[in-house]
Structure 1
């Protein structure tokens, strides 16, 4: 009993909690890379020409379920060193959320692809220059709604239409979450533009953890007001 109690105290100490969090992030990062590899490798080889946008969207399809599973794992995994199972929690979340996430993620990619193509070829399709602003704003709105929807559908069991309603609702209800997600999206876009998608993938688990922490107020309100 004494040895078990000593191990339990070790597992609950500050250094142990830090160690366990680092371990969880590393495991989740490896699983993120593994599950996104089928799309990441061809994406890295794809030229940055607007004509490749539909292909880029196709290669990004595996990213949605992978982010969802990472959100699930980081949210549910305990930091006790005596009970670390981030890989099993990740795969449980991946299987449980796969269909729901794809119902949110695939339409989001389609919307963003259409908007990006219209921006890239606005002259060819006859759009006046002032259309740039509303198209960009619409793209930002779709992205922020998708971020909310991704978190909600990863952590809760709602119908897709309810997930989308809540995602839009919390854009206004939790402005701190909206601004935080906008900054995360801007940072991800900046890293991708200046460096590459590979750099962003390497810090994927940290980015997902940041998304989870930024979304804490929305998650708390969802649990308190919509799950009872």
Structure 2
């Protein structure tokens, strides 16, 4: 019997997976650092909502590059280059993702400002609840859009349409994304933004997993 190839065993594949997660995590922290550093210096005050949005700008391309790298990860220990794949994804997708991410942040900043200053602006409670529901839908839409923009080459308008389409067509994807976002949000609220980013590569890996039905349908129906 011939000996198994190097890197083909279960332990080797697990080691390759963990190594990829660690490298991607460090690169996410590195690329998100400009906003994260400023964010850590800000007080948790409603008046800082626009600044929170500005600090989140680098996070979009960072998450996109991580999605790209984890999707294309190798299980072969002899062919592991997660950093190179991450930077390739960053170069390829940063501009396209920002076309989706920047309008999303701007809209959410305006919406959040209206909600937190409700007593000053005289906005009724029911309207604030409606705005929160709209905000949640926009966040889930943006998650779909970032995954699509990271893995496929479409026009921005087509990315926006597909992201909206799959919100209703694949509700399981939205529910899975919501669960991951709630986990990240709970970590942020009860610890800090820095702690919430520590398991970023694991959460993004989970995002890829829950988005698998959406990715499979796009490949089948919309990619020639």
The TM tier, using the shorter chain, reads over 0.9
DSSP 3-state at the match of 1:9: coil
Displaced runs of 4 or more, over 2 A: none
Q: Does residue 211 in structure 1 map to residue 204 in structure 2?
A: no
CA distance in 1, matches of 2:185, 2:22: 23
CA distance in 2, matches of 1:213, 1:15: 21
Q: Quick one: which of 185, 192, 197 aligns to 2:193? A: 197
> RMSD across aligned C-alpha pairs, in angstroms?
1.1
CA deviations on 1:137-160 (whole Å, 9 max, x unpaired) are 000000000000000000000000
DSSP 3-state at the match of 2:74: coil
Q: Quick one: which of 9, 12, 18 aligns to 2:8? A: 12
Report the alpha carbon displacement of residue 10 of structure 1 after superposing the two structures with TM.
Answer: 2.6
Q: Quick one: which of 51, 61, 67 aligns to 1:55? A: 51
CA distance in 1, matches of 2:178, 2:203: 13
CA distance in 1, matches of 2:125, 2:171: 30
Q: Quick one: which of 88, 91, 94 aligns to 1:92? A: 88
Alignment TM-score, normalising by the size of structure 2: 0.97
2:219 maps to which residue?
A: 223
CA distance in 1, matches of 2:80, 2:138: 36
Q: Does residue 106 in structure 1 map to residue 102 in structure 2?
A: yes
Aligned 1:27-42 pairs, distance under 5 A: 27-42=23-38
Aligned 1:166-177 pairs, distance under 5 A: 166-177=162-173
CA deviations on 1:10-40 (whole Å, 9 max, x unpaired) are 3111111000000000000110111011111
Q: Does residue 157 in structure 1 map to residue 153 in structure 2?
A: yes
Report the alpha carbon displacement of residue 42 of structure 1 after superposing the two structures with TM.
Answer: 1.0
DSSP 3-state at the match of 1:12: coil
Asked if 1 retains the 8 angstrom alpha-carbon contact of 2:185 and 2:196, the reply is no
Q: How many residues are paired up?
A: 223
Alignment TM-score, normalising by the size of structure 1: 0.95
CA distance in 1, matches of 2:183, 2:11: 30
Asked if 1 retains the 8 angstrom alpha-carbon contact of 2:24 and 2:69, the reply is yes
Indicate the structure with greater helix content.
1
1:180 maps to which residue?
A: 176
Unpaired runs of 5+ in structure 2?
none
